[in-house]
Chain A
Amino acid sequence: MQKFSYVIKDEVGIHARPAGLLVKEAKKYESTITIVKDAKSAAATKLMAVMGLGVKCGDTVDVEVEGPDEETACAKIKEFFEANL
């Protein structure tokens, strides 16, 4: 499993639009991508679940990637976070 932590810099947090883009990105990979915030976790492919985490600016999230293409997926998702969130 690959994982990384990330502090959200986007003002509105992981809200509808960024969440939608994230889900779209996450669906590209075979690996299961899970976003963990505090005790809650959500599959990154499920928009409602991702939004349900209520991630705000300044929050720290852990992103876990597990599956056959976990290395590329993890790197790409990390890039995505840095570029968008």
Chain B
Amino acid sequence: MAMDYAKCAKEIYDTLGGRSNLVSAAHCATRLRLVTVDNSKIDMKKLENIDGVKGVFSNNGQLQLIIGTGTVNKVYEEFLNVSGMTAATKEEVKAAAAAQQPLFKRMIKALGDVFVPILPAIVASGLMMGLVEALGKAIPSFAGSDWYGILDLMANTAFTFLPVLIAVSAARVFGGNIFLGAVIGMIMIHPSLINAWSVGSMDAAEIPVWRLFGFFPIRQVGYQGHVIPVIIAVWLMCVIEKWLHKHVPEMIDLFVTPLCTVLVTAFITLGIIGPIFSTAESYVLEFAGWIITVGHGVGAMIMGALYPLTVVCGIHHMYNVIEAGMLSAADGLNIWMPIASAANFAQGAACLAVGLKSKNLKTKSVAIPSSLSAALGITEPAIFGVNLRFVKPLVCGMVGGAAGALLGSIFHIGATSYGVTGIPGFLITLDYTVQYAIVLAVAFGVSFVLTWFIWKEETEETEETGKAASDTTTASESETVQSEKALFAPIKGNIINRQAIPDETFAAGVLGDGVGIEPEVGEVVAPFDGEISSVTDTRHAVGITGPGEMEVLIHVGIDTVNMNGDGFELFVSEGDKVKAGQKLMTFDIAKIKAAGYSTTTAVLLTNSDDYPEFKIVKTGKTNTMEKVFTIE
């Protein structure tokens, strides 16, 4: 069916009340998504009747017009023409609709999003590395053995190739092609480049340099152990890739876009980002070497505090140079090691405090092994996976690190080697066992206690708000619930896995992911602020659309459609706006049972495929308005 895109766009534009009522426009596969100043000015009926518009609804401040695959983009282009707006991406529309978060917060969040998926790999490696290195120090004969060789290889693989893992994860977070991301990561640690870990011990003159056009220098140095430059490079790659996709004609897009993306990103990374970081690194290194000699431990204290930040930037691998320098000097003691050790141990303590205090199972399961790994001297999992994400534990850990480092300096602890910190550090501080133990204990204690009291799990607050909403069922109190993309229990009862719902279709997830609830009370309340998207004449099921376009089906009982509404009472109708906790429906548990049906109620996110992450946070006994699952 040929359709007049221009006419359709023009009619939509006219119905919306002109340019002054428009904020932004974008489209997805089937819908034209608009943000308007005032939705109430718009005649929805008229919109729906426009030829080419298959449906209209508004959601989260967005007005969405269903137009259809293959046609929506053409209508969109015409719409931009008639309205005089510029193209916006879906993300931009979402951003315009949502309140803007401060830049710093978004950056920390991006860092966390990049790190969380790769945590299993680095937690495993961190623990193995800590154990293998400790054993190597404890039993000198083991260090040279074949066993050590093969275990060390297995342990350090994830760290050796960390930039690749980060690049893949970052490409996913920033919406680029993950394989191109992997290529960028691999370019940055290509074996033809000198390993970043060995650069520190080389003279500047020894480092080979490519000279492009005869003058533009690129040092042939890799990015082993780096985090931030990799994320920046991949972010850049994604920006370039998306731009090219938009501007390169489709015919040649498949080979032009990846080629140009990789080439441009790699040049900018090695040519510009690299030098900036290596210059910054050498300054930090010089600063670090200088500051620990300052004023009776004050400098050491400052370094103890700043140390985790240098880990975040990936500069810590340069410190071996400082330590090696100290050991080769006349008195030959490594006074850097206690500082690093205190800092690492404190981060581990902060992470442990989070792990013990958190009620979120996922946080717990990440934090506890991460803290163990940090106690063995490998802090990346603890810092990136836990502390940095919540910020406060990182800061508390910094204070603990500072306290430990100050003591270490006052005790004049000196290590006889380098390469291990934390508990294995005892092996290279044999003359100072007691002092070293005190340093670790203080760093641990300060950090743990501070974190325990200062850090509060954010989700707890929302849960409480959720409960408050169910008690009072007032509009204003449930606002926190709305801002989060979560579903709160619509029924009091026992939450079971979707797979355990006694109905094949529900259990198999044909209708989306979710949970079952064995109800104790025959009342259904709204699981979030939203709009009733469907009700049935038989009154036993209700569909509701909520935050983040979650479409949830609450289907009371199994096969209860056959009861034809007997025993069910519905309090809302299609299109009604409801507040979280508001009563939607009541049902007669006894009647359902008497009719021979199961009362197990399916609570399903019917569009769960649209979200990369679906997490069940509660099973078992629940009250209404307890958080059941979240999406991202």
Contact = CB atoms under 8 A, between A and B. Distances in A.
A47 B30 contact: no
A30 to B, nearest CB: 7
A48 B551 contact: yes
Contact of B574 (A17, A23, A46, A52): A52
A32 B606 CA distance: 19
A46 to B, nearest CB: 8
Size category of the B interface is 20 to 34
A48 B551 CA distance: 7
B69 A67 contact: yes
Nearest to A31: B69
A48 B534 contact: yes
Given A12-B562, A52-B534, A54-B537, A20 B69 contact: no
Nearest to A40: B55
B536 interface: yes
B562 A16 contact: no
Nearest to A53: B534
Contact of B606 (A21, A30, A47, A68): A47
A16 B446 CA distance: 56
Nearest to B575: A52
A60 to B, nearest CB: 17
A54 B574 CA distance: 11
A15 B536 contact: yes
Interface residues of A, number: 29
B162 to A, nearest CB: 38
B365 interface: no
Contacts of B512: 20, 47
Contacts of B534: 48-49, 51-52, 54
A30 B541 CA distance: 30
Contacts of B607: 46-47
Contacts of B71: 32
A34 to B, nearest CB: 6
Interface string A36-72: 0000011101111101101010000000001110000
A20 B498 CA distance: 15
B352 to A, nearest CB: 44
Given A48-B543, A51-B536, A20 B511 contact: yes
A24 interface: yes
27 contacts: A12-B561, A15-B541, A16-B541, A16-B555, A17-B503, A20-B510, A20-B511, A21-B505, A21-B510, A32-B54, A32-B69, A32-B71, A41-B54, A43-B30, A43-B68, A47-B512, A47-B607, A48-B534, A48-B543, A48-B545, A48-B606, A49-B533, A51-B536, A52-B543, A52-B574, A54-B536, A66-B1
Interface of B: 1, 30, 54-55, 66, 68-71, 503, 505, 510-512, 533-534, 536-538, 541, 543, 545, 551, 553, 555, 561-562, 574, 606-607
Given A32-B69, A47-B551, 7 more contacts: A16-B505, A16-B553, A20-B606, A34-B54, A52-B533, A52-B534, A56-B537
